[in-house]
Chain A
Amino acid sequence: MKVSNLLGKAKGSALLLLGTASVVVSMDANAIPVFARQTGFKCVACHVGGMYPQLTSLGRMFKLTGYTMGNRPNLTDLEVQNDYPPVAVMVQGARQYYNNTSTQGLPGHGQGVPSSSMNVQVVSFFAGGKITDNVGAFMQWTGQKYDNTQTGSQAGWNAAAIDNTEFRYADRTVTPTTDTVVGAYVNNRATMSDVWNNMGPWQSGWINYFNSGNAQAPTTFLMGETTQHTAVGAGAYIFQNKTWYGELAVYKSPTHGPLSALTAGAPPSNAAAGSNGTVIDPTPYLRLAYNKEWGPHNFEFGLHGMMAYAHGSGLLGSTGPSDYSQPVSTYRDVGFDSQYQYVLDPHYFSAHARITREYMNNAGPGVFANYSNLTPVNATDNLTETYVDAIYVYQAKYGAQLSYQNVTGSNDVGLYSMAVNGAGGLTGNPNWSAWTPHVFYAPWQNVRIGYMYTFYTQMGGVTSGNNNLVFNGTKFSPANFNTSMLYIGFVY
Chain B
Amino acid sequence: MKNIKTILTLSAMSLALGACSTGLDKSRNLGNPNVTGNTLAQQVCSVCHGGIGNDVNGNSVNPRYPKLAGQQKEYLVAEMNEFHNHTRKDPMAQAMMWGIARNFTPKQIDELANFYSNQKPIPDSGQKAALVAEGDKIFHEGVLDKGVPACMGCHGANAEGNGPIPRLASQHADYIYKQLSVFNTDEVYTEGKENVPDSDLERPQGAVMEGIAHGLTEQQRRAMGAYLSSLH
Interface residues of A (CB under 8 A from B): 1, 6, 9-10, 13-14, 16-18, 30-31, 39-42, 44-45, 57-58, 61-62, 65, 68-72, 74-75, 81-82, 130-135, 137, 139, 162, 165, 167, 169, 171-174, 176-179, 186, 241-243, 258, 261-262, 264-265, 293-296, 343-345
Hey, which chain B residues are within 8 Å of A61, CB to CB? Answer: 47
Q: Would you give the 0/1 interface string for B47-73, flagging 1 where the beta carbon is closer than 8 Å to chain A?
A: 110101111110001111000000000
Task: Report whether B28 and A71 are in contact in the complex, using a CB–CB cutoff of 8 Å.
Answer: no
Residue-wise interface mask of B (1-36) relative to A, using a CB-CB cutoff of 8 A (1 in contact, 0 not): 011011111111111011111101011111110000
A133 contacts B11, C-beta separation under 8 Å: no
Stretch from B99-107, B131-139, B152-160 forming part of the interface with A: B99-107
Cβ of A71 and Cβ of B30 under 8 Å apart?
yes
Q: Do B100 and A58 have beta carbons less than 8 Å apart? A: no
Closest CB in chain A relative to B53 CB, distance in Å = 7
Flag if B55 contacts A40 (CB, 8 Å).
no
- Give Cα distance in the complex from A131 to B29, angstroms: 10
Q: A16-B11, A40-B98, A179-B55 are in contact. Are A133 and B17 (CB under 8 A)?
A: no
CB distance from A185 to the nearest CB of B (A): 10
Cβ contacts A to B, 9 pairs, < 8 Å: A13-B15, A58-B48, A65-B28, A162-B6, A167-B17, A177-B54, A241-B55, A261-B10, A262-B10
Q: 4 more A-B contacts (CB under 8 A) besides A258-B9, A296-B174?
A: A13-B18, A39-B99, A65-B43, A293-B61
Contact B9 A13 (CB under 8 A): no
Report whether A81 and B64 are in contact in the complex, using a CB–CB cutoff of 8 Å: no
Question: Which listed residue, B14, B31, B61, touches A131 by the CB 8 Å rule?
Answer: B14
A176 touches B21 (CB 8 A): no
Chain A contacts of B8 at CB under 8 A? 14
CA distance A87 to B61 in the complex (A): 33
B11 lies within 8 A of A14 (CB) = yes
B46 within 8 A of A: yes
B184 at the interface (CB under 8 A from A): no
Docked-complex contact A133 and B31, CB < 8 angstroms: no
- B42, CB-defined interface residue at 8 Å: yes
> At the interface with chain A, which of B89-97, B186-194, B204-212, B219-227?
B89-97
Taken together as a complex, chains A and B put the C-alpha atoms of A68 and B29 apart, in Å, by 7
What residues of chain A lie closer than 8 Å to B11, measured between beta carbons?
10, 13-14, 16-17
Is A258 in contact with B13, judged by CB distance below 8 angstroms? yes
A81 touches B63 (CB 8 A): no
Q: Is B29's CB under 8 angstroms from A133's CB?
A: yes
Complex contact B13–A17 (CB within 8 A): no
Verify A45–B55 contact, CB threshold 8 A: no
> What 1/0 flags go to B104-141 for Cβ under 8 Å of A?
00000000000000000000000000000000000000
B interface residue numbers (CB < 8 A to A):
2-3, 5-15, 17-22, 24, 26-32, 42-44, 46-48, 50, 52-57, 61-64, 91-92, 94-96, 98-100, 102-103, 174, 178
Bound complex: CA of A1 vs CA of B21, how far in Å? Answer: 12
Instruction: Kindly list chain B residues whose C-beta atoms are within 8 Å of the C-beta of A57.
Output: 62
Residue of A nearest to B56 (CB): A174
Report the nearest A residue to B14, measured CB to CB. A13
Residues of A within 8 A of B17 (CB): 131-132, 135, 167, 169
Whether A82 pairs with B31 at a CB distance below 8 angstroms is yes
Contact A13 B12 (CB under 8 A): yes
In the complex where A13-B18, A16-B14, A17-B7 touch, is A173 in contact with B96 (Cβ < 8 A)? no
A265 contacts across to B, CB distance below 8 A: 2-3, 6
Q: Is the CB of A70 within 8 A of B95?
A: no
Q: Are B28 and A171 in contact (CB under 8 A)?
A: no
User: In the bound complex, do residue A173 and residue B53 qualify as a contact, i.e. CB atoms below 8 Å apart?
Assistant: no
**Known A42-B96, A71-B30, A130-B29; contact A174-B43, beta-carbon cutoff 8 A:** yes
The answer to whether B18 and A75 touch across the interface, beta carbons within 8 angstroms, is yes
B7, B56, B64: the one within 8 Å of A296 (CB): B64
Residue of A nearest to B98 (CB): A40
Whole-angstrom CA separation of A343 from B100 in the bound complex: 20
Chain B residues with Cβ under 8 A from A70's Cβ? 28-31, 99
CB distance from B80 to the nearest CB of A (A): 14
**Complex CA–CA separation, A148 to B42 (angstroms):** 44
For B3, what are the chain A residues with a Cβ–Cβ distance below 8 Å?
264-265
The residue among B6, B92, B94 with the most chain A CB atoms within 10 A of its own CB is B6
In the bound complex, residues from chain B placing their C-beta under 8 Å from that of A172 are 26, 28, 43
In the complex, the answer to whether A343 meets B62 with C-beta atoms within 8 Å is yes
User: Which 4 A/B pairs are nearest by Cβ-Cβ distance?
Assistant: A40-B99, A71-B31, A81-B31, A261-B9
Q: How far is the CA of A41 from the CA of B100 in the complex (A)?
A: 8
Find chain B residues with CB under 8 A from A294 CB: 61
Q: Which of B43, B52, B94 is the one whose CB lies under 8 Å from A30?
A: B94
User: Are the CB atoms of B62 and A42 closer together than 8 Å?
Assistant: no
Q: Which residues of B contact A343 (CB under 8 A)?
A: 62, 64
A342 to B22, CA, bound (A): 35
Other-chain residue from A9, A17, A134, A177 in contact with B10 (beta carbon distance below 8 A)? A17
- B9 and A131 contacting across the interface, CB-CB below 8 Å: no
The one of A71, A135, A167, A241 in contact with B103, judged by C-beta atoms closer than 8 angstroms, is A71
Q: Report Cα–Cα, A165/B13, bound state, in Å.
A: 12
Q: How far is the CA of A130 from the CA of B96 in the complex (A)?
A: 18
Q: Most chain-B CB neighbours within 10 Å: which of A13, A137, A165?
A: A13
Contacts of B92 in A (CB 8 A): 345
Known: A41-B95, A162-B6. A174 touches B55 (CB 8 A): yes
Q: Which of these, B26, B43, B47, B95, contacts A44 with CB under 8 Å?
A: B95
Q: Please name all residues of chain A whose beta carbon is closer than 8 Å to the beta carbon of B12 when the two chains form the complex.
A: 10, 13, 258
The answer on a CB contact under 8 Å between A171 and B7 is no
Residues in A whose Cβ lies below 8 Å from that of B94: 30, 42
Known contacts: A69-B44, A135-B21, A243-B52. The answer to whether A41 contacts B99 by CB under 8 A is yes
Q: Which residue of A lies closest to B8 (CB)?
A: A14
The answer on a CB contact under 8 Å between A135 and B20 is yes
CB neighbours of B46 from chain A (8 A): 174, 179
In whole angstroms, how far apart are the Cα atoms of A134 and B3 in the complex?
Answer: 27
| A-chain residues with CB within 8 Å of residue B26 when the two chains form the complex | 133-134, 171-173
Known: A69-B47, A72-B31. A135 touches B18 (CB 8 A): yes
Distance of A195 Cα from B42 Cα, bound (Å): 21
Chain A residues positioned under 8 Å from B30 (CB to CB): 39-40, 69-71
Report chain A residues within 8 Å CB of B98.
30, 40
Question: Roughly how many angstroms separate A131 CA and B17 CA in the complex, as a whole number?
Answer: 8
Distance in Å: Cβ of B50 to nearest Cβ of chain A: 8
Rounded to whole Å, the gap between the CB of B170 and the closest CB of chain A is 14
Find chain B residues with CB under 8 A from A62 CB. Answer: 47
Check B22 against A133 for contact (C-beta < 8 Å).
yes
Q: How far is the CA of A1 from the CA of B32 in the complex (A)?
A: 20
